[in-house]
């Protein structure tokens, strides 16, 4: 934090925050501490102050009256008390890393404070809510992943989507055909035979049971569709046959097209 009076640097302050604190919290603490400094300045005649920050997020939070996070509320309260003492407080934004002297001095002080390993110099140690939310989410994903890896069910689906986090980020086509291929449920003769809905599980190609693996990698009836999929994969430097997980992780569009053109009615 750098304080100027009549364009002259009169005070420099640096404050260490706990490592768990966010950049936004650091920007907000700098503003709060600068407000604390105002009553201690030697020149009390001029009580008009402009506080500049390069954090648009902080300025937006201060304007949003529905936001009541701890430091933002502290800043608002401090501004109110100073206003009652005839201070006129204004806020402005400056672009970072553009050679503005005061901003460069403040950045240098912030870096020095961040490198200070002495815990006694820490002025703020509240963990941001976003950090809690992120950690809880990660703990949940780790637990979910363990359960996913240890379950004895849905082995086929797991072979397509071994990583829970990766699956959550993916946008996959939700069609009966795609669902049947990646889950093993419905449409295929191997599945229908289990429920006595067809006489046998064999594919009309007479090369084996009509499973997802058979349709993707072996069935001669689908050779034309498969050739397009293989060409797409090998043209990009991939190898055929590729894994089921790579089919959805790396080649989802081409794989979706392959599945789209499977006529399950003709394969019965």
The SS3 of residue 82 is helix
**pLDDT for the residue numbered 42:** 63
What's the token pair of residue 161?
């989507």
- Say if residue 187 is exposed, middle or buried (CB neighbours under 10 Å; 0-12, 13-18, 19+): buried
Query: pLDDT at position 200, please?
Result: 92
Are 254 and 233 in contact by the 8 Å Cβ rule? The answer is yes
Phi, psi for residue 52 in degrees, rounded to 5: -100, 140
Angle at 35 (CA atoms; ends 31, 36), nearest 5 degrees? 115
Given a cut of 80, is residue 117 above it in pLDDT? no
Place of tokens 């191997």: 190
Per residue in 199-210, pLDDT tens?
999 999 888 999
Evaluate whether the domain defined by 2-127 bears CATH number 3.30.70: no
Contact yes or no for 91/50 (Cβ under 8 A): yes
Q: Residue for token digits 């790579």?
A: 246
Question: pLDDT band for position 57 (50/70/90)?
Answer: very high
Q: What is the mean pLDDT of the chain?
A: 90
Tell which residue, 237, 202, 8, 16, has the closest CA to residue 110.
16
For the packed helices 23-37 and 56-63, what is the interaxial angle rounded to 10 degrees?
70
pLDDT digits (tens, 9 = 90+) for 21-51: 888 888 999 999 999 999 888 666 778 999 9
H or E element: which one contains 118?
none
Report the number of secondary-structure helices (H) and strands (E) in the chain: 13, 6
Q: How far apart are CA 268 and CA 265, in angstroms?
A: 6
Q: Whose CA is closest to 58, among 44, 72, 47?
A: 72
Banded pLDDT at 98 (limits 50, 70, 90): confident
pTM: 0.62
- Give the pLDDT mean for 48-65: 93
Residue 110 has pLDDT above 90, yes or no: no
Model confidence band, residue 163 (pLDDT cutoffs 50, 70, 90): very high
User: CB-side exposure of 253: number of CA atoms within 13 Å?
Assistant: 2
- CATH 3.30.420 positions along the chain are 2-127
pLDDT confidence of residue 46: 79
């Amino acid at each position: 934090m750098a304080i100027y009076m009549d364009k002259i640097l009169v005070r420099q302050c640096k404050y260490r925050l706990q490592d768990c604190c966010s950049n936004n919290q650091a920007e907000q603490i700098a503003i709060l501490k600068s407000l604390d400094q105002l009553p201690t300045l030697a020149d009390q005649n001029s009580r008009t102050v402009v506080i500049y920050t390069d954090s648009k997020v902080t300025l937006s939070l201060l304007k949003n009256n529905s936001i009541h996070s701890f430091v933002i509320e502290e800043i608002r309260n401090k501004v109110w008390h100073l206003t009652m003492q005839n201070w006129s407080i204004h806020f402005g934004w400056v672009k970072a890393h553009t050679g503005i002297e005061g901003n460069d001095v403040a950045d240098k002080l912030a870096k020095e404070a961040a490198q200070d390993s002495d815990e006694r110099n820490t002025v703020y140690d509240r963990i941001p809510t976003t950090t809690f939310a992120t950690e809880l989410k990660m703990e949940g994903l780790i637990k979910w992943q363990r359960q996913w890896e240890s379950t004895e069910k849905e082995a086929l689906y797991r072979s397509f989507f071994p990583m829970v986090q990766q699956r959550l980020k993916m946008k996959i086509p939700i069609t009966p055909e795609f669902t049947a291929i990646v889950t093993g449920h419905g449409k295929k003769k191997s599945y229908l035979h289990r429920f006595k809905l067809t006489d046998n599980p064999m594919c009309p190609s007479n090369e084996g049971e009509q499973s997802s693996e058979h349709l993707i990698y072996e069935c001669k009836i689908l050779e034309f569709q498969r050739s397009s999929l293989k060409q797409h994969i090998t043209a990009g430097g991939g190898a055929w046959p590729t894994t089921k997980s790579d089919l959805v992780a790396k080649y989802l569009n081409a794989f979706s097209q392959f599945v789209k053109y499977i006529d399950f009615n003709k394969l019965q």
